[in-house]
Amino acid sequence: MKVEAIEYGDRKVYSVGAFNRGVSSWLQRLPTVWVEGEVTELRRSDRWASVFFTLKDPQDGSCLGVSMARGQFDALRLELVDGDRVHAYGRPELFEARGEFRLRALSLERFGLGDHLAALERLKTKLAAEGLFAAERKRPLPLLPARIGLVTGNDAAAKRDVLTAVTTRFPPANVLVAETYVQGPRAAGAVVEALGALCREGVDVIVVARGGGSFEDLLPFSDERLVRAIADCPVPVVSAVGHEQDTPLCDLAADVRASTPSVAGRLLVPDLVQLLERLDRSRAGLERGTRRSLERERRRLDGMHERLGRAPRLLLERRRAKLEQSAGRLRALSPKGTLERGYAIVRAGEQIVRSGGTVQPGELVDVELAEGGFGARVEETR
Amino acid sequence: MTFEEAQRELEQIVQQLESGRPGVEEALALAERGELLYRVCAARLAAAEGKVEELSRQPETG
């Protein structure tokens, strides 16, 4: 639309109507978008063509006037009351007669807790399908972190509680605190930035701490950017957000979830007293173990020594026994033994007589017995 | 070597020694190494200063 200006010398001046028309036509080029807010000051009359209400940003209180054709509004049967959360689909518009800027709503949807939960559930399903919450992604926390990063709100009790839990348990702990927004529309981006800043500074574990709050207060901790940043964080992350019953998605992406600040303390640092005791026990074990090895070696040596002393006598006895055995066998095998059992050796001259045919009747033979012997004459041969 | 690594090796050495399996030479060498590891761990604890620092506030965006 062409907007005509009146010219006074070199000054161009617009009438109010022309100005409003100009702005209005410019505004109409803006796209149609969804806007979320709480409904307040709903004004409706059967005599009006439009209903009017104000959308309020629950985080920072910003307001936006909205108008909507009454027929359309009534047809939706939303039964809205002040404070109801809605999504309005519309375009910016200038009410030219009054120079009032507002959103011209084409459609309106109630967006309650259920819708939030449904959206959250969809995101959860999507991220889970990507494997962002998988158990095998979880990293173990360092036993003794050189430096702990803490992301927290600036005056948060959560900050104090985590610091107390950590330093009570482990006084030598080094903590680098990154204060940031933990609520409102900036929180998710700010926490993502804080994570990055801490990693650049060099920490080997990060805890994200935020006290309990309403479902909506904790929503930034289910923000997709934040959840992804936690999953992608180069160092392990402990999520200490909200209370036991809250499960923002950051809990699922973190390597460990701490339900309370003292649980976070236990996860982050070892108990110094216990650690020192354990070290001292180990040291005592070194000494005890070495002594045990030495004693065992000495016992073995003593045993060897004793056996060494016994060895010559044993050897002698063994030899004597062997000799006896040999003598016995020798005796059993000698002719002497045989004669003692009643046998006799018959000789004709120097030859031992083994068969009757080798001697003649009347020949003289010599008979040897166990004890002595005698001469004899052969009577007959067979 | 991290504290965890030193502590884990120290405890393994103690276990080995307490089993009584290693010979004297080995036992003495293990004990020496164990003592070194103990000192590494103790020094690591002593070196930590115990401080809480604040990271400077991020510049506001948006």
pLDDT digits (tens, 9 = 90+) for A81-96: 888 899 999 999 998 8
Q: For chain A, which domains are there?
A: 6-111 (2.40.50.140), 116-135+144-273 (3.40.50.10550), 337-377 (no CATH)
> A246 with A212: CB under 8 angstroms?
yes
Per residue in A33-50, pLDDT tens?
999 999 999 999 999 999
Query: Which is more confident, B47 or B28?
Result: B28
What pLDDT does residue B24 have? 81
Map residue A64 onto helix, strand or coil: strand
Q: Residue A77 contacts by C-beta under 8 Å, 6 or more apart in sequence?
A: none
- For the segment A326-340, the average pLDDT, to the nearest whole number, is 77
Tell which wins on pLDDT, A271 or A216.
Answer: A271
Per CB-CB distance under 8 Å, the chain A contacts of B17 are 285-286, 288-290, 292-293
Out of B2, B52, B61, the one facing A177 most closely (by C-beta) is B52
Q: Which of B1, B58, B61 to mutate to test the interface with A (most CBs of A within 10 A)?
A: B58
In angstroms, what separates the C-alpha of A188 from chain B's closest C-alpha? 12
**Average pLDDT value for chain A:** 89
Q: How confident is the model at residue B19 (pLDDT cuts 50, 70, 90)?
A: confident
Which of A290, A298, A300 should be substituted to probe chain B, the one whose Cβ sees the most B Cβ atoms within 10 Å?
Answer: A290
Per-domain boundaries in chain B: 3-47
pLDDT of residue A116: 78
- Is the CB of A202 inside 8 Å of chain B's CB atoms? no
Q: Is the dihedral of CA A76, A78, A83, A84 positive or negative?
A: negative
Q: Judge residue A242's burial from the number of C-beta atoms within 10 Å of its C-beta, 0-12 exposed, 13-18 middle, 19 or more buried.
A: buried
Subunit contact A286:B57, Cβ cutoff 8 A: no
- Structure confidence at residue B61 as a pLDDT band (50, 70, 90): very low
Is A339 within 8 Å of A327 (Cβ atoms)? Answer: no
Position A205 confidence tier, pLDDT thresholds 50, 70, 90: very high
Residues B41-54 have a mean pLDDT of 84
ipTM entry: 0.81
Q: What is the mean pLDDT of residues A10-26?
A: 91
Dihedral (CA of B1, B4, B5, B6) sign: positive
- pLDDT for res B60: 46
Whether residue A156 lies within 8 A of chain B, CB to CB, comes out as: no
pTM: 0.60
Distance of residue A231 Cα from the nearest chain B Cα, in angstroms = 22
Rounded distance, CA A272 to CA A290, Å?
A: 27
Given a cut of 90, is residue A129 above it in pLDDT?
Answer: yes
Asked whether the beta carbons of residue B20 and residue A288 sit closer than 8 angstroms, the reply is no
Percent of chain A beyond pLDDT 90? 49
| Inter-chain touch B2–A144, beta carbons under 8 Å | yes
Using an 8 Å CB-CB cutoff, list chain A residues near B7.
Answer: 143, 278-279, 282
The answer on pLDDT for B62 being more than 80 is no
Inspect the interface and report whether the beta carbons of A282 and B14 lie closer than 8 Å.
Answer: yes
Tokens of A200: 């650049």
What Cα–Cα distance (Å) separates residue A309 from each residue in A81, A273, A304, A319?
A: 107, 54, 9, 17
Closest-CA residue to A68 (of A102, A25, A98): A102
Q: Which of residues 294-313 of A touch B (CB under 8 A)?
A: 294, 296-297
Using alpha carbons, select from A87, A283, A267 the residue that is nearest to residue B32.
Answer: A283
Distance (Å, rounded) from C-alpha B44 to C-alpha B28?
A: 24
The minimal CB distance from B24 to the residues A171, A201, A297 is found for A297
With beta carbons less than 8 A apart as the criterion, state whether A274 and A154 touch: no
Which residues have C-beta within 8 Å of that of residue A99, sequence separation ≥ 6? A16, A20
Instruction: Note the pLDDT of residue B57.
Output: 60
Among A282, A298, A299, most B C-beta atoms within 10 A, so best to mutate, is: A282
pLDDT of residue A250: 93
